[in-house]
Amino acid sequence: MPIQFDVDPTVAQLAAATAEFVREVVVQAERECGGSVHDAPDDLREMLQKAAREAGVFAPHVPERWGGHGLDLRGQAAVFEAAGYSLLGPLALNCAAPDEGNMHLLEKVATEEQKQAYLRPLAAGETRSCFAMTEPAPGAGADPRSLRTTATRVPGGWRLDGHKWFITGAHGAGFAIVMARTSGSPGDPGGATMFLVDAGTPGMRLVRNIETLDESLFAGHAEIVFEDCVVGEGQVLGEVDRGFDGAQVRLGPARLTHCMRWLGAARRAQDIALERAGSRMAFGSVLGDLGMVQQMLADSEIDIEASRALILRTAWELDTASAGASQLTSVSKTFVAEAVNRVVDRAVQICGALGISAADAPLARLFREVRPFRIYDGPSETHRFAIARRAIRPYRQRGEAVSGG
């Protein structure tokens, strides 16, 4: 099957409507709060999502059964980039992390009863969620196999005990998807299980919200402790001891949708740099006539176009369940995270004092927001390790066969 790069007219129309909605409505809301929503009231989210529904752009990724537009990943690429033009755009469309990834996971893995209880209200924006896997060192982080939170069978269900942190959106979330070890020991490749834990379940305690460089992910990043937290058998999400496999259903597409959203932020930074380069007079001409500025603008255009092409290729691989999807997901996450950082950094440099003035242009905020992207959902170094390991595998096998012969 050939790779299709053309955008379906319906998707193109939705992307255009999203771009208009973000520029006309969401950017203004972003200006009013400075892009910082770690401590924002929930009525800001509700207001933005109500406006998105009225504009007909709400929930582009959600299957039609649950009230969304039902776009595949290739369709999402165009719309999510348009949404990401504002830091609050994904929140308004209900396609921000971690909820967007959790919706995908629930649609693919949950039982029908679980979908009605958790996916339906999440897709409608009636509640929020979080995904609790990351732990303080030496627990699960870049290496999920280091998982130390445990789930022990008790009469009628499971008891969770463990320590999680950097759990995005946990404060005020209606439920958490919690990864815990049901067999084996830290370092083992299997033995994990996912659990649905409702907010307010005894034994689940939110310790604090962690102060971080970024502030545009709604409700921030929390530290959570589970102590004698008991959930029923029906709260198991997926299969017991197959949690790592289930998580991959979420993590691959979620990494790519991160790339889509942040590419929108890079496009906005480039637009600001282009406007400045075309209007700011210096040394007898506009900045855009200076060779060094032209090089920065050109390199950013290259980074944006290369990122977009890589995202579309990877989306096609995931949509068609290609064997190469895992490799390209890691390639995309690494390249786009670093390309977005480069684009925003160049824009700050081109705009000079304006670029670092948080009150006069959004670049200072964008600069703070995009830097953690090189760490979240797997640091670049971890992905490079995985990329190289997959690339060398057939050659290693060939060498072992030769030496064995």
- The domain limits of the chain are 9-96, 129-237, 247-404
pTM beyond cutoff 0.85:
yes
* Per-residue model confidence (pLDDT) at position 3: 65
User: For residue 69, what are its two tokens?
Assistant: 């537009």
Report the share of the chain in percent with pLDDT over 70: 97
Helix axes 325-351, 243-279, angle to 10 degrees: 30
Instruction: Kindly indicate whether the domain formed by 9-96 is annotated with CATH number 1.10.540.10.
Output: yes
* Per-residue model confidence (pLDDT) at position 334: 98
Determine the average pLDDT of the residues in 101-124: 98
* Per-residue model confidence (pLDDT) at position 398: 73
Encode 16-44: b = buried (16+ Cβ within 10 Å), e = exposed: eebbebbeebbbebbeebebbbbebeeeb
* Per-residue model confidence (pLDDT) at position 358: 81
Determine the average pLDDT of the residues in 346-361: 91
| Whether the Cβ atoms of residue 81 and residue 260 lie closer than 8 Å to each other | yes
User: For residue 238, what are its two tokens?
Assistant: 């997926």
Give the length of the chain.
405
Determine the average pLDDT of the residues in 102-126: 98
pLDDT of 20 higher than 70: yes
pLDDT in tens, 366-405: 999 999 999 999 999 999 999 999 999 999 877 666 666 5
Q: Say which residues have a Cβ less than 8 Å from residue 335's Cβ, sequence separation at least 6.
A: 306, 307, 310
| Whether the Cβ atoms of residue 90 and residue 368 lie closer than 8 Å to each other | no
The 3-state DSSP class for residue 159 equals: strand
pLDDT of 1 higher than 70: no
| Architecture in CATH for domain 129-237 | Beta Barrel (2.40)
Distance CA 149, CA 357 (A): 43
pLDDT in tens, 128-172: 999 999 999 999 999 999 999 999 999 999 999 999 999 999 999
| Architecture in CATH for domain 247-404 | Up-down Bundle (1.20)
Report the share of the chain in percent with pLDDT over 90: 89
pLDDT in tens, 189-222: 999 999 999 999 999 999 999 999 999 999 999 9
Determine the average pLDDT of the residues in 100-114: 98
| Whether the Cβ atoms of residue 165 and residue 135 lie closer than 8 Å to each other | yes
- Exposed/middle/buried for residue 305 (C-beta within 10 Å: 0-12, 13-18, 19+): exposed
| Whether the Cβ atoms of residue 154 and residue 230 lie closer than 8 Å to each other | yes
The 3-state DSSP class for residue 36 equals: coil
Instruction: Answer whether the bond into residue 98 is a cis peptide, omega within 30°.
Output: yes
User: For residue 102, what are its two tokens?
Assistant: 């959790």
Q: What is the DSSP string of 187-236?
A: T-SS-EEEEEEETT-TTEEEEEEEP-S---STT-EEEEEEEEEEEEGGGE
* Per-residue model confidence (pLDDT) at position 67: 97
To the nearest whole number, what is the mean pLDDT of the chain?
A: 95
pLDDT in tens, 57-93: 999 999 999 999 999 999 999 999 999 999 999 999 9
Determine the average pLDDT of the residues in 345-367: 92
Determine the average pLDDT of the residues in 256-277: 98
